[in-house]
Structure 1
Amino acid sequence: MRTPQLSDEERRLLKEYKAKAPHKLVVKKAEALLLLSRDVAPEIVAEFVDREPSTLVDWMTDWHQQRMASLLTGHAGNLNRGFLTEEQRATVNEVLSQPPGDEYLPAQFWDVPKLDHWLSTTFNIEYASNSSYHFLLRMAGLSFHKPEKFDRRRADEKAIDQRVKEIREELVDPLADENTLVFAADEVRIDQEAVVRKAWYEKNTKTVLKVDRKTASQSFIGFLNQNTGQCLPLRLEWQNSATILEAVQTLVG
């Protein structure tokens, strides 16, 4: 088996894949190449990466023919990152590090079609598999997860923080006055209904659960005394202006 000769740039990239590649196969290939380039015995390398020595021979053959392109093929989603030059890789990472706005693409979040379009129009590069684009996104520090929800009717956080600060300033004198009581209030409703979840049971059979379709609910309002920290909950027949006013009168009385 011919020892792979690595340039400084190839060694740097292999170390990068060894540390960050999302595919185990890419990691093992990178580890094997790095070890073999240091004249570690092939039998030891094969045992370390949990592969047969014959597999290492195939990896070395591919390496001498394709260099970095051989590292990212096959089960790794046929990603040939060797298409990109070092300068292009830096540009891709820089672009993917920010949401695609007007300067790049008219959208808030990256996805495969947007990345495909950008690579195609910018570098004339296209990949056959979506996992190739997933790899680039992960290498740029992105992850695939659900965004947090934010109510459109809710003010932005800076406005909320500013208003809270103003309220605290307004309450300084009332809280210091022994003859003044300050309360914070909020309403809540507890609903009760039957919810059916998935369960494990025998295949090709039906399981029927008897449930009560009638729903029940109870509304409450809670008053939090800002001086003592004591909370006073009151039942409400319903949540509307009349019942809230009645609860406030009960509190005052």
Structure 2
Amino acid sequence: MDFLCRFGHDWSMQVEVTPEETAVLIRWRKRSDNHVLVRMKAEAILYASEGVGIGIIAKMVERAERTVQEWLAEWWATRMCSVLTGHAGNQDAAEPARAQKEELKTILVRPSSPAGVRAEFWDVPAIRDVVKTLSDAEHQSDSSYRLLLRFCGLSFKLPDPFDGHRDEKAVTRRMAWATTQVKALLDQGWEVYAVGEVRLEHEAWTRRVQPPKGQRTRPSVDRRRTSQSFFGALSLTSKKVKLYPIEGNRNTWQTILALERLQRETETEKIAVVLDNARFHHAKALTALHEPGQPLERIMPIHLPPYAPDHNPVEHVRNAAKNNIANIQHETPEETFGAFASYIAGRTFDYDFEHLPPRETRNDFVS
């Protein structure tokens, strides 16, 4: 079947371009440092949006009519993504200038919509093409492009409430039950904790090295990472958090050690802990310890629904602490982990299952 017929277009089709897309295409067409094919595609789409015929457009951009038709069909399918194209040449990217950062941010923050940029557009290869088009430079590692998103206050991370496996009706039912259960226990004088684990990473910053005479300066990045996990328990009574470092990986054994310490440090006789549905929280080695006569008999576990970390108050404590230290580069791992612990230890958090901070998702690239 003909490529163009698959998209339902004929030789006289007129493409639709939003005002925002028009402004970006005009800038790309005018930039002399852009790849020539980007300028041609931008020009062809702008002409087609004004109803100019395929034959005339083909003469203006000096390409075959079929080629122009394919460009327009691709525009219908992938919008802005179809204009940017990979090409030869590789230059190490210096830090973008202020104007380039602002232009990049203007493009990236545009929300996805049927008439705009598709959600799938914002992957690393696509952002690499955008940066190449705007600044004629390329970064060597994918993490550099992820860092550009951070500079713009954006993220690749899929927001927790939109997990593909999440059953909203089941989450609502389970949370109604858990909230009622927790409220009843608090009324009876129990100490209730919302608990969870968190993992932090420390990575050295990018630095430039002095090259031999006559060679270009190339950025050198220390990619060695140091991590530290913590077990946190937010008291729904005192609104304070007990934070325990975890040795090694998060697992059933480390959870048992943390719960034993939490039990020792809690004066109230009866304790309830609200946990997420991590697999190691359901291990028989842990659940058996809550039976009468066992080491954790004072603790009653309450499990949250699957794929619903946003309903756990301690997760919001973790997010607040991470956001507080995210843009501060500490020299040593100990300073990074200490800053995280100090932020939590010095505050009270007025969170419970009925009063949680709203989740910010407007800058996440999801549909």
TM over 0.5: no
Q: Which has the higher contact order (CA 8 A, sep 6+)?
A: 2
TM range (shorter): 0.3 to 0.5
Q: TM-score, normalised by structure 2?
A: 0.31
